[in-house]
Amino acid sequence: MDRFRDRRQAGERLADRLVALGYGRVPQVLVFALPRGGVPVAHPIAQRLGAPLDVWVVRKLGVPGHEELALGAIAAGGGRVVNEEVVRELRITPEAIAQVEARETQELLRRERLYRGGRPLPELAGKTVLLVDDGLATGATMKAAIAAARARGPAQLVVAVPVAPPDILREVEALADAVVCLKTPAEFRAVGLWYEHFPQVSDEEVLGLLQRPPSS
């Protein structure tokens, strides 16, 4: 199995691909990481493109009692997706979904305050927006981020991830203007399996990378 050493190496390889595709010459590029895991991937991309690094806060909505399984996701700026198939098959009630969403909204707002310090999302109209994560599993959080970003009218909306299963990648490709992905293994299983070193990313690491200028 050819794996990435860590998130930074994955970001460096993604940056190489993005530069080769011409994104280094595109004016008004904004790089948004999906925290927490997307931030160390996005930092070297912002460095290479000479673009500002920001975050688009997202939260998975986990199935009650099986939180690792996503029934949907929410994103800052109002993005929201629900997997109706999961909801129907598991007979999840609207009341249960509302409870999960209320809880995750509180955590989303906490992270927004911590990471953005009260700053509003920047103006996206006419700009190229890159949404970056460390991989796609269900794709729910990325879909929510795409919905929120799309509503703000960017000129182009690009998703950049190191690894994703082919079926999920196709779903995301239908929503974004372009998708850049380095690996699409048929035997996917989990994002973390495609990294040699895949620790949890802390709030402190996120803040440190956001405060480090793109040229550093």
Write out pLDDT tens, residues 123-138. 999 999 999 999 999 9
Q: Give the number of other CB atoms < 10 A from CB of residue 64.
A: 15
Cα separation, 74 vs 58, in Å, equals 6
Q: What is the pLDDT of residue 68?
A: 85
The CATH architecture assigned to 7-58+125-210 reads: 3-Layer(aba) Sandwich (3.40)
Backbone angles phi, psi at 30, to 5 degrees: -120, 130
Q: Is residue 1 predicted with pLDDT exceeding 80? A: no
Return the amino acid letter for 132.
V
Name the band, by pLDDT with cuts 50, 70 and 90, for residue 215: low
- State which H helix or E strand residue 179 sits in: strand 178-183
pLDDT in tens, 20-29: 999 999 999 9
Q: What is the pLDDT of residue 214?
A: 58
Every domain of the chain and the residues it spans: 7-58+125-210, 60-116
In whole angstroms, how far apart are CA 199 and each of 5, 93, 184, 191? 12, 34, 22, 12
pLDDT in tens, 140-184: 999 999 999 999 999 999 999 999 999 999 999 999 999 999 999
Q: Residues 60, 36: contact at Cβ < 8 Å?
A: no
**Length of the chain in terms of residues written:** 216
Burial degree of 214 (CB within 10 A; 0-12, 13-18, 19+): middle
Q: What is the pLDDT of residue 203?
A: 95
Q: Is the torsion defined by CA of 201, 204, 210, 213 positive or negative? A: negative
Q: Is residue 216 predicted with pLDDT exceeding 50? A: no
Q: For 61-71, what is the mean pLDDT?
A: 91
Backbone angles phi, psi at 42, to 5 degrees: -75, -25
Q: What is the pLDDT of residue 125?
A: 96
- State which H helix or E strand residue 58 sits in: strand 58-63
